[in-house]
Structure 1
Amino acid sequence: MSLRPLIRSALVLTLVTAALPAAATRFEVQAGRSNSNGHSANTAFVEAVFAPQPLGQTRFTWSPDVSLGWIDGRHVATDNSRYTTRDSVALLAAGARFHLGGTGDWYQPLFLSEQLAVTNRATHALSSHYQFVSTLGWQAKHFSVAIRHISNGGLHRPNTGETMALVGFAFDI
């Protein structure tokens, strides 16, 4: 297995991160289990969430959100199609994290994140190199929990996607 795509993705993430304002940058290291078609695998992400910006005159804020992720492969006995689940997948995603309310509101730590991602290979679950990433979560000062779904949105078949539960440790720089 070649590390070249992962190194290339890390370099792109570094360049994108350097181009964004560093003020109030939140870094999260997340790990969990992903499920696709009843088969689970380990997964890990490193995510950078930048300073929140107001969304017009609303009570919503948005933050640029960049992720570098890894989903382990699975060995499934019936895995004999063109797209298998054996290969691990690295992905690079960028988008926005949305919050509602001010810092004192009880619901403000809840967030919704939408991202577009590129992957280093196609699998049965992620059958194209371009994916949509949707995350619903809760964040505290140094902790986060989230449910994340990654799928190509039906642009290419098969389209089973990956659904994962993540727990993260966070720190600000």
Structure 2
Amino acid sequence: MFSPIHSSRALAGLVVVLLGLAAGPVAAREAADIEIALGASNTTDREFTPVASVAWLPELMQMHNAVLRADAGVVYVDGRGDVVGRDLGDSVVVGHVGLRYERTDNGLTLGAGVGGQAGETDALSGDVQFITTGGWRWERFSLLVRHISNASLNSPNDGETMLVAGWRF
């Protein structure tokens, strides 16, 4: 559950992360697509929290009715504050690289990547995280489900499953 204090802190954290990431190299922004996404994440016992991400998605290859893109970005998962019996208080930032496959005929979007994190909770523990993405894209707007987990390399392995809405620039 969100308290007013926690929600204000979460919003401020999301704004700082997005502004910092959006101020990246101008050449990268002009050369390829940048996607900014906001949403909510859930872990094992329905503990929801805000999330934000920024991804650089340069085109690698045109295929018949599809595009293959590199996917390099950062996902911010806000800390949940005090949760009884769980260590979910810290905010976590996961940097990642991978690939994203986008259909140009029906909007299907699939992605996979590997990343490293700063911060640790029961949901995101260990040094290596795997990121999977699925959803749909309409022009510049995307609706994506994303899962981040360490694939049981470290314990605990609760993971984060998020629903985000993104806008491509």
Q: TM-score range by the shorter chain?
A: 0.7 to 0.9
Match of 1:142 among 140, 149, 153: 140
Aligned partners of 1:85, 1:21: CA distance in 2, in Å?
34
Match of 2:39 among 10, 26, 32: 32
Query: Counterpart of 1:125 in 2: which secondary structure?
Result: coil
Aligned partners of 1:21, 1:120: CA distance in 2, in Å?
24
Query: Counterpart of 2:155 in 1: which secondary structure?
Result: coil
Aligned partners of 1:163, 1:98: CA distance in 2, in Å?
20
Aligned partners of 1:141, 1:99: CA distance in 2, in Å?
11
Q: Equivalent residue for 2:100?
A: 97
Aligned partners of 1:54, 1:143: CA distance in 2, in Å?
20
1:110 alignment partner AA: L
Aligned partners of 1:144, 1:99: CA distance in 2, in Å?
11
Aligned partners of 1:77, 1:35: CA distance in 2, in Å?
16
1:31 alignment partner AA: L
Aligned partners of 1:21, 1:39: CA distance in 2, in Å?
34
Deviations 1:75-100 (A, max 9, x none): 20223xxxx11000011111000134
Number of aligned residue pairs: 150
Unaligned 5+ runs, structure 2? 1-12
Greater share of helix residues, 1 or 2?
A: 2
Unaligned 5+ runs, structure 1? none
Query: Counterpart of 1:116 in 2: which secondary structure?
Result: strand
Query: Counterpart of 1:99 in 2: which secondary structure?
Result: strand
Structure 1 consecutive aligned stretches of length 4 or more whose deviation exceeds 2 Å: 20-23, 58-61
Question: C-alpha displacement at 1:139, in angstroms?
Answer: 1.3
Q: Equivalent residue for 1:116?
A: 114
Q: Equivalent residues in 2 for 1:1-173 (5 A)?
A: 23=31, 25-37=32-44, 38-54=46-62, 61-74=67-80, 75-79=82-86, 84-100=87-103, 103=104, 105=105, 107=106, 109-171=107-169
Question: C-alpha displacement at 1:65, in angstroms?
Answer: 0.7
Q: Equivalent residue for 2:4?
A: none
Query: Counterpart of 1:45 in 2: which secondary structure?
Result: strand
1:87 alignment partner AA: D
Query: Counterpart of 2:75 in 1: which secondary structure?
Result: strand
2:50 alignment partner AA: N
Q: Is the 8 A contact 1:53 1:62 kept in 2?
A: yes
Aligned partners of 1:39, 1:152: CA distance in 2, in Å?
19
Aligned partners of 1:157, 1:124: CA distance in 2, in Å?
8
